[in-house]
């Protein structure tokens, strides 16, 4: 049930026994099960969540384990794993209960690239898939981390950001003429595992600082380096400041000036 390694892990293209192969097997297991039930969206949980659950823990006996009044996604000898695609605010009470007792790893998936398939709700017909120009980045997690930032430096808290290729199925039920704007997402099917970024201690939040930010910088420079909006960049720096990854060294107008905090370097653990 281990999440490996502690660091940024690029998954090699030829990976017959490691993470890529385990991820493929998890995809096969979930999609095969869905096929027997009549297709996507027929399980009690969405496909992305189900695949990640089997990837991080193939043993079903460790799924849906109760701790007190809470049910965890995965629990075993290495603690608890919670797979959360959004609404981290819903984790607050669970984290407050679990962290004093055990290690908790929150897994956050990001669609690094995705293909869109539209579904006609009346006929069930699906369009050919088209690649979205939008590319997901790990910095998206800051919007959610802000909601639980009081827990981020707890010694039992872990974070794992998973970058994936995905197919996204959307219903043609929006308000625009083509029914796409304002449409609802039906399901997401992970296709391949690209990268994992793990944070095991406060010192490792430095991994969530985009490259190119050396010396002093403001939210404006963070925006340029990350591709986030200015408001999202300010939220990201608020989170990084609360973890100790950055230090405020002054102000430039009404903006804080930051620099990276000199922390002990982290070590990469080779993938098993």
> In whole angstroms, what is the distance from residue 30 CA to residue 50 CA?
7
The whole-number mean pLDDT for each consecutive block of 10 residues of the chain, a chain of 272 residues, reads 33 59 90 62 70 93 92 91 94 96 96 90 84 91 96 96 92 78 83 93 92 92 95 96 95 92 50 33
pLDDT on residue 7: 34
Based on the domain organization, do 87 and 219 belong to the same domain? no
Domain contains 2: no
Q: Is the peptide bond before 102 cis (omega within 30 degrees of 0)?
A: no
d(CA 174, CA 116): 15
Considering 189, 208, 227, which residue would you say is the last residue of a domain?
208
Residues of the chain above pLDDT 70, percent: 86
271 domain-assigned:
no
Structural domain count of the chain: 2
Residue 235 lies in a domain: yes
pLDDT confidence of residue 46: 86
CATH number for the domain that contains residue 220: 1.10.10.10
pTM above 0.75, yes or no: yes
Question: Is residue 196 in some structural domain?
Answer: yes
Residue 9: the pLDDT is: 41
**Which domain does 226 fall in, by range?**
209-261
Q: What Rg, from alpha-carbon coordinates, does the chain have?
A: 20
Residues 178 and 85 in one domain: yes
Q: b/e for 149-177, b at 16 or more Cβ within 10 A?
A: bebbebebbbbbbbbbebbbbbbbeeeee
Is the distance from CB of 11 to CB of 20 less than 8 angstroms? yes
Each residue's pLDDT tens digit, 73-98: 999 888 999 999 989 999 999 999 99
Strands 104-119 and 79-83: parallel
Question: In this structure, are 148 and 193 located in the same domain?
Answer: yes
DSSP secondary structure, 8-65, as one string: EEEPPS--SSSHHHHHHHHHHHHHHHHHHHTSTT-SSS-HHHHHHHHHH---GGGEEE
Residues 27, 123: one domain? Answer: yes
Whole-number pLDDT of residue 176: 79
Structure tokens at 75: 């629990």
* Domain endpoint, select from 172, 193, 208: 208
220 and 193 fall within a common domain: no
What is residue 155's predicted lDDT score, i.e. its pLDDT?
A: 96
């Amino acid at each position: 049930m281990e999440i490996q390694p502690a660091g940024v892990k690029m998954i090699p293209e030829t990976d017959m026994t490691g993470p890529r192969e385990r991820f493929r097997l998890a995809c096969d297991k979930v999609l095969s099960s869905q096929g027997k039930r009549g297709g996507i969206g027929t399980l009690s949980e969405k496909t992305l969540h189900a695949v990640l659950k089997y990837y991080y823990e193939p043993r079903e006996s460790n799924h849906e384990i109760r701790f007190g009044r809470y049910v965890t996604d995965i629990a075993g000898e290495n603690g608890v794993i919670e797979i959360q695609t959004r609404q981290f605010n819903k984790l607050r009470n669970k984290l407050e209960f679990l962290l004093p007792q055990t290690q908790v790893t929150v897994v956050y998936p990001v669609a690094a690239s995705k293909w869109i398939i539209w579904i006609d709700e009346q006929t069930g017909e699906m369009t050919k898939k088209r690649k979205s120009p939008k590319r997901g980045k790990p910095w998206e997690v800051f919007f959610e981390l802000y909601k639980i930032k009081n827990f981020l430096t707890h010694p039992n808290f872990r974070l794992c950001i998973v970058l994936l290729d995905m197919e996204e199925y959307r219903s043609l039920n929006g308000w625009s003429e083509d029914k796409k704007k304002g449409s609802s997402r039906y399901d997401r099917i992970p296709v391949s595992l690209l990268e994992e970024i793990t944070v095991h201690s406060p010192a490792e939040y430095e991994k969530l600082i985009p490259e190119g930010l050396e010396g002093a910088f403001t939210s404006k420079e963070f925006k340029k380096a990350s591709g986030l909006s200015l408001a999202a960049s300010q939220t990201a720096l608020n989170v990084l400041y609360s973890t100790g990854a950055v230090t405020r060294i002054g102000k430039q107008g009404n903006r804080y000036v930051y620099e990276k905090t000199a922390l002990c370097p982290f070590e990469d653990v080779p993938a098993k």
